[in-house]
Each structure stands twice: as C-alpha cells, then as structure tokens.
C-alpha cells in the first residue's frame, strides 16, 4: 500500500514552489490539492512509497517556507483504506 504526504502552506506561489520541489526530489505523484481562502491557504497531497513521500515532504517544506508560512506537514504511512477514499489514488 502507498503512503501519503501532506503539505499545508500559506500562499499559492509558495505552494507551487513546494510542490515543484516535492516532485523533483522523489518519485511521488500529486493526488489532491485543496485551496481555501481564495488560494491563501493551500494543501497539497502526494502519494508514493514511505521513503519517497518523506523525502518529498521535507523538500517541499524547505522550498515553500522561503516564500510563505508552512502550517503543517504530515506523512501517513500505509493509510487506512477509509482515509484514501478522500483521494483519487489512481492518478
């Protein structure tokens, strides 16, 4: 089973910078984005192996924090199948 990683950032530009770093750092794929407050708060969710997701989230946090505030990060190893119903894991 795959793992998921979450990065929640203030600002659309910072979130895109974070996502770019995540995708370039490790073999992960974007499975979901959530924009709140007109794009001022963005959550990015990626999937992959535990090690890839961990590396990607760490890189994304570092890149995004240069441009905006990072509100939270999380890596969920082998999430429960009910959690994965929130996302299209086939992407």
What is the tens place of the pLDDT at every residue in 25-49?
A: 999 999 999 888 776 899 999 999 9
* Tokens read off for 19: 């996502």
Strand-pairing partners, residue 18, are none
**Average pLDDT value for residue range 2-29:** 95
Confidence of residue 23 (pLDDT cuts 50, 70, 90): very high
Annotate 23-84 with DSSP letters as a single string: HHHSS-EEEEEEEEGGGTEEEEEEEE-HHHHHHHHHHHHHHHHTTS-EEEEEEESS--HHHH
Burial class (CB in 10 A: 0-12, 13-18, 19+), 10: middle
Q: pTM for the full model?
A: 0.89
């Amino acid at each position: 089973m795959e793992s998921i990683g979450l990065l929640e950032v203030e600002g659309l530009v910072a979130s895109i910078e974070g996502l770019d770093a995540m995708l370039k750092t490790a073999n992960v794929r974007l499975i979901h984005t959530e924009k709140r407050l007109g794009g001022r708060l963005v959550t990015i969710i990626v999937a992959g192996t535990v090690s890839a997701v961990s590396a990607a989230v760490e890189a994304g946090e570092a890149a995004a924090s240069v441009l905006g505030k990072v509100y939270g990060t999380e890596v969920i190893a082998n999430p429960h199948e009910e959690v994965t119903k929130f996302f299209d894991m086939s992407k």
